[in-house]
Structure 1
């Protein structure tokens, strides 16, 4: 079965408040439990802010390091999930359900890509 990487994209300058809505964590926990029991979820996590990141670039035979935050970047990967699904349609379904749990006033995007095997 193919594996898919769902990268959750956020605008760090527009992060939601620290206090999530009362039922958000319960709904997210229930979905993560369901997707894990279904044998789909292989791994998932949120990522630390870009202020704690380092970019490493290879160019013209040299490595260059840039410490975050990256002011030129508006949208960043804020988390990820690796899922094993029967097809892309199933991966899209789980990703849609994940996004729909978030409050309507938040802007959260996901980029879904199949992991190349072999």
Structure 2
């Protein structure tokens, strides 16, 4: 099972406050542990929302809103992709994580859809297309 592990933004991360050397060191050790265990597939920190934008869809119309975005608790400061056997294993790994932000912080865990989750609507043709795209990404 794959999970996206989402590090929620804080006022500090949205203000562009960079992590301390101690936190970067602790996170580096944690990431090494994840990789050594075969759990971590990807992971990145994200710039504050002030450097981003949102695209809103309404039928065929598109509108763009530049950051920053007001509701910090809805924003993402970073993420990992974990490959584990269960939600509980993912939780266990996340509980070992150094606190990603000074003070209070929150990490959300969401399971990633796999091809078999889509049922018969995911036709053999669509599966083949998905496999081609993934092969291109891997090369």
TM-score range, shorter chain: 0.7 to 0.9
How far is the alpha carbon of 1:69 from its aligned partner? 0.5
- TM-score, normalised with respect to structure 2: 0.72
Structure 1: gaps of 5 or more residues: none
Query: Corresponding residue for 1:44?
Result: 43
CA deviation map 1:5-32 (0-9, x unaligned) = 0111022x24495461x53222221111
Written as runs of structure 1 = structure 2, the 5 A alignment for 1:1-118 is 2-11=1-10, 13-15=11-13, 17-18=17-18, 20=20, 23-71=22-70, 73-75=71-73, 76-98=75-97, 101-102=98-99, 106-118=103-115
Using the size of structure 1 for normalisation, the TM-score is: 0.84
Instruction: Give the number of equivalent residue pairs.
Output: 112
Describe the shift of the 1:86–1:103 C-alpha distance in structure 2 as closer, same or farther (beyond 3 A).
closer
CA contact under 8 A between 1:10 and 1:107: conserved in structure 2?
no
**What's the Cα RMSD here?**
2.1
Q: Which one has a larger percent strand, Structure 1 or Structure 2?
A: 1
Greater length-normalized contact order (CA 8 Å, ≥ 6 residues apart):
1
Cα distance, 1:77–1:26 mapped onto 2, change above 3 Å: same
